[in-house]
Structure 1
Amino acid sequence: MTPDQIGFTLLYLAFFLLLGKWIRVRIKWLQNLFLPSSIIGGFLALFLGPQLLGNILKNFVNEDSFWVNGIMTEEVMEVWEALPGLTINIVFATLFLGATIPTLSKIWKYGGPQLAFGWTIGWGQYVIGILLAVLVLSPFFGLPPMAGALIEVAFEGGHGTAAGLSGTFEELGFAEGYDLAIGLATIGVLSGVIIGIILINWAVRKGNTNIIKDVKGFSTLRKQGIMEFQNREPAANMTVRPESIEPLSLHFAVVGMAVFVGWLLLEMLIWIESVTWGAITDSEFMTYIPLFPLAMIGGIIIQVIFNKIDNAEVLDRRMINRIQGFSLDVLILTAIATVSLDVIGEYIVPFLLMAGAGIAWNVFGFLILAPRIIPTYWFERGIGDFGQSMGITATGLLLMRVADPKGESPAFEGFGYKQLLYEPFLGGGLVTALSIPLIYQLGAIPFLIFAIIMCVGGALVGLLHFGRK
């Protein structure tokens, strides 16, 4: 593959991102669902690629024709298949860069109730998933016990985490897990937005909301995904002079160093294992760990260093957010566009069972546990955690913005503090990354027991400590 061919795949990427945005602006029912343009563009690329349009056209053209891949090319699909696994490292490396890291006591005070609720939901997805795998998916459909982790990987972790684990799935002999996880993540985002909006309408009618009393106040521009003129603000702050270094270049370099530090940590762990317990037990557990959770730790290390030496505060969180957002758009679009429909079709019943079980658990947790764990503004605060548990963090932020447009409740502050302790472990953190290798190495039952303990522990802390306040 030549550099020109690789560059051409990026032009395809730009085309589908723009097309997805144009369709979002033009079609009202997509506006009402608040679907990101990257998801719309990803589905378009999937439909116009080799799996759908290509399969139809190959019946009318010879096998050497361009049209057997739809409007895509083999080079585009090859590059796009690799992009999600690369961009997820950038997404996680940027989680804590440019952000103020508060004390643990402050995190516990403001974000504790949401942390307890999110912790219960996250570990509960493992409990539900592994029980489903052990009792149904493995004996009746031949899926490995590792399938029990797919609900948490896809729903809590989202497209990024599923893409980041693609190499792990393949190395452990469960390559189908990647396509199933991407499919589940897509179902999670779609159902998260749809069910979330339904829940908000229900809560308004029942009087369970403290802030809004109707959900009809959104402007046309907002539904189109365009910032209203009066609300526009700089996308980032110029913290350095462009004649010395372009601000975007500086922040990109810092993100790159965070990923590099994560890579060094991973290589160090692999080496330590090879000369210690790995040499004794002949195991290679560390080689199955993906890079992205270590890239997140690399970002924390870089941020701590900058806190010590950066008196001018040159790291701008808004600029970091732009890099993270671009990477996430690329990740989501290419992950959806390259998902294998054949795999999902082959395992359609297990796929639907996992999707249904995950959705049912999340809705149950929000309606039954959230009011009893979160002492004040339970709906405004809990709807964000519900949205995150169904897909990506952006889904949670979207639903919180609908339920609390002006930020009058402690929802956003609590959600932000909760993420500082939550993200390093669940929702794409260390536990999510290690769950597949752990189940493979130790078996499903030990991990199930541990997940039950964590889930029950989070529920008890939430109900008995925060719920009584």
Structure 2
Amino acid sequence: MSPEQIGFTLLYLGVFLLIGKWVRVKVKWTQNLFLPSSIIGGFLALIFGPQVLGRFLGMFVDGDSFLTNGLIPEQVIDVWSNLPGLMINVVFASLFLGTTIPGFKKIWRLAGAQLSFGWTMGWGQYVLGILLAVLVLGPVFGLPPMTGALIEIAFEGGHGTAAGMSGTFEEFGFDEAYDLSIGLATVGLLSGVVFGIILINWAVRRNKTNVVKNVEGFSDLRKRGIMEFQNRDPAANMTVRTESIEPLSLHFALVGLAILVGYLILQFLIWFESVTWGAATGSEFMTYIPLFPLAMIGGIIVQIVFSKVDQNNILDRPMITRIQGFALDILVVTAIGTISLDVIGEHIIPFLLIAALGISWNLFGVLVLAPRIIPSYWFERAIGDFGQSMGVTATGLLLMRVVDPENDSPAFESFGYKQLIFEPLLGGGLVTSLSVPLIFEFGPILFLIISAIMCLLGLLVGLLYFGRKKS
């Protein structure tokens, strides 16, 4: 494929992002659901691509006709299918760049209860998913035990993690897991917003909220995804002069450095295994680890080093956030636009069972467990974890903003500190990336036992320690 063709695919990407934004501005129901333009654009790409429009037109034209790809040429789909796995490294490498990493004691004091709740929810998704796989999906539908990890990968991890795991799925001969997990991530995100708004209205009517006592809703501009004029601030800060280097270029280079550090860590782990236990047992376990969680570790290392040597504070968190958001938009559009409807259709009943179980567990967590674990402002804090557990951190932040528009509760601060421990492990962290290889290598029962112990640990700490502090 020529460079011109690759560049052309990126132009297509921009077109669908623009169309997605136009739909968000014009169509009311997309505003009421707060659908990101990337989700809308991805669905439109799926509809106008070979999966839907192409098949429809294929009934009327010869099989070799370009119309069988719909409005999206085959080379565009070929490039798009590789972009999610690349962009997820950018997203995860950016997680901690430009942030202040506090000590564990401060995190525990401010966000311990929320960490216990999130820990319970994350490991619980593994417990229920593996039980479903072992008892139903395997015996009845012939799916491998690795299917049990899809709830956490898709719901807690979201589109990015699902895309990042595609190479691991292929290594173990479970290619269908990519399409299933992308589909589940989409279901999780949509249902997270829908159920989140329903839960907020319920909480307000039942006096479960401490800040908002009536739901007045966002402004029309906010629903359309347009920043109000009075709230428009610079998207990032110019920390270096452009005659020396463009600030965006500098921060992109730092993200790239974080990914490179993660890559070197991965290569070291692969080499270390090959000369130690791998040489004796023939194990190649480390080769199955995807790059993105180690890119996150690389970001932490770069941040720690930079905090020591950067005396002028040139590393700007808002600039890093813009890079991260750009990568995530590309990831979502291309992941949804290239999803295989054949795979989901072939496994529609398992797909629906996994989705229903994941949604039910998250609803149980926010309605039953959260008020017993989180001692104060339980709903304002739990609704953020609910949104994250259904797909993306942005959904959690959105829902928290609805119930705490002026940041009057400790919800945002607690959520942010909790992420510093939670993200490196679950929701796309090391545990998520290792779950499929561990289940494949050692069987589902061992990982089920580990998950149950971790889930129970989080639950007991939450109920018996933080829960007793409830005023």
Q: Same fold by TM (over 0.5)? A: yes
Q: How many angstroms apart in 1 are the aligned matches of 2:411 and 2:114?
A: 9
Partner residue in 1 for 2:96: 96
Partner residue in 2 for 1:213: 213
> What's the CA shift string for 1:218-251, capped at 9, x where partnerless?
1100000111111111100000000000000000
1:239 maps to a residue whose letter is T
1:38 maps to a residue whose letter is S
SS in 2 for 1:467: helix
Q: How many angstroms apart in 1 are the aligned matches of 2:429 and 2:122?
A: 11
Partner residue in 1 for 2:110: 110
Q: How many angstroms apart in 2 are the aligned matches of 1:217 and 1:335?
A: 31
Partner residue in 2 for 1:437: 437
Q: How many angstroms apart in 2 are the aligned matches of 1:18 and 1:240?
A: 31
1:75 maps to a residue whose letter is Q
Offset of residue 302 of structure 1: 0.4
Offset of residue 49 of structure 1: 0.3
Partner residue in 1 for 2:242: 242
Partner residue in 1 for 2:10: 10
Partner residue in 2 for 1:37: 37
2:164 maps to a residue whose letter is G
Q: How many angstroms apart in 2 are the aligned matches of 1:125 and 1:49?
A: 33
Partner residue in 2 for 1:336: 336
The gaps in structure 1 that reach 5 residues or longer are none
Note the 1:100-179 alignment, pairs <5 A.
100-179=100-179
| Residue 409 (1) aligns with residue 409 (2) | yes
> What's the CA shift string for 1:132-159, capped at 9, x where partnerless?
0000000000000000000000000000
Note the 1:415-426 alignment, pairs <5 A.
415-426=415-426
> What's the CA shift string for 1:354-379, capped at 9, x where partnerless?
00000000000110000010000000
The gaps in structure 2 that reach 5 residues or longer are none
Offset of residue 285 of structure 1: 0.3
Q: How many angstroms apart in 2 are the aligned matches of 1:348 and 1:61?
A: 29
Partner residue in 1 for 2:370: 370
Tell me how many residue pairs correspond in the alignment.
469
1:52 maps to a residue whose letter is V
Q: How many angstroms apart in 2 are the aligned matches of 1:412 and 1:237?
A: 22
Offset of residue 60 of structure 1: 1.2
Offset of residue 63 of structure 1: 2.2
1:48 maps to a residue whose letter is F
Q: How many angstroms apart in 1 are the aligned matches of 2:127 and 2:424?
A: 20
Contact 2:20 2:41 in 1 (8 A): yes
Q: How many angstroms apart in 2 are the aligned matches of 1:37 and 1:373?
A: 35
Q: How many angstroms apart in 1 are the aligned matches of 2:217 and 2:65?
A: 51
Partner residue in 1 for 2:308: 308
Q: How many angstroms apart in 2 are the aligned matches of 1:62 and 1:341?
A: 22
Q: How many angstroms apart in 2 are the aligned matches of 1:360 and 1:260?
A: 39
1:336 maps to a residue whose letter is I
Offset of residue 214 of structure 1: 1.8
2:372 maps to a residue whose letter is R
1:80 maps to a residue whose letter is W
Q: How many angstroms apart in 1 are the aligned matches of 2:367 and 2:62?
A: 55
Q: How many angstroms apart in 2 are the aligned matches of 1:397 and 1:94?
A: 18
SS in 2 for 1:208: coil
Offset of residue 217 of structure 1: 3.5
Offset of residue 62 of structure 1: 1.7
2:431 maps to a residue whose letter is V
Q: How many angstroms apart in 1 are the aligned matches of 2:225 and 2:409?
A: 24
Partner residue in 2 for 1:193: 193
Offset of residue 261 of structure 1: 0.4
Q: How many angstroms apart in 1 are the aligned matches of 2:447 and 2:65?
A: 49
Contact 2:107 2:417 in 1 (8 A): yes
**Identity between Structure 1 and Structure 2 (%):** 73
SS in 1 for 2:241: coil
> What's the CA shift string for 1:255-278, capped at 9, x where partnerless?
000000000000000000011001
Partner residue in 2 for 1:72: 72
Offset of residue 305 of structure 1: 0.7
1:392 maps to a residue whose letter is V
Offset of residue 216 of structure 1: 2.0
SS in 1 for 2:82: helix
Q: How many angstroms apart in 1 are the aligned matches of 2:4 and 2:372?
A: 58
Partner residue in 1 for 2:453: 453
Q: How many angstroms apart in 2 are the aligned matches of 1:112 and 1:321?
A: 25
Partner residue in 2 for 1:223: 223
Q: How many angstroms apart in 2 are the aligned matches of 1:97 and 1:182?
A: 27
| Residue 259 (1) aligns with residue 259 (2) | yes
Offset of residue 64 of structure 1: 2.6
SS in 1 for 2:293: helix
> What's the CA shift string for 1:40-82, capped at 9, x where partnerless?
0000000000010000001111223221100001110000000
Q: How many angstroms apart in 1 are the aligned matches of 2:217 and 2:76?
A: 42
Offset of residue 215 of structure 1: 1.7
Q: How many angstroms apart in 1 are the aligned matches of 2:463 and 2:136?
A: 31
Offset of residue 103 of structure 1: 0.8
Contact 2:163 2:335 in 1 (8 A): yes
Partner residue in 2 for 1:26: 26
2:50 maps to a residue whose letter is P
1:372 maps to a residue whose letter is R
Q: How many angstroms apart in 2 are the aligned matches of 1:465 and 1:240?
A: 47
Contact 2:117 2:370 in 1 (8 A): yes
Q: How many angstroms apart in 2 are the aligned matches of 1:215 and 1:138?
A: 45
> What's the CA shift string for 1:281-313, capped at 9, x where partnerless?
111100000000000000000001101100001
> What's the CA shift string for 1:175-221, capped at 9, x where partnerless?
00111000000000000000000000001111111111222231100
Partner residue in 1 for 2:379: 379
Runs of 4+ in structure 1 off by over 3 angstroms are: none
Q: How many angstroms apart in 2 are the aligned matches of 1:217 and 1:28?
A: 14
Q: How many angstroms apart in 1 are the aligned matches of 2:398 and 2:217?
A: 15
Q: How many angstroms apart in 2 are the aligned matches of 1:263 and 1:408?
A: 41
Q: How many angstroms apart in 1 are the aligned matches of 2:441 and 2:100?
A: 38
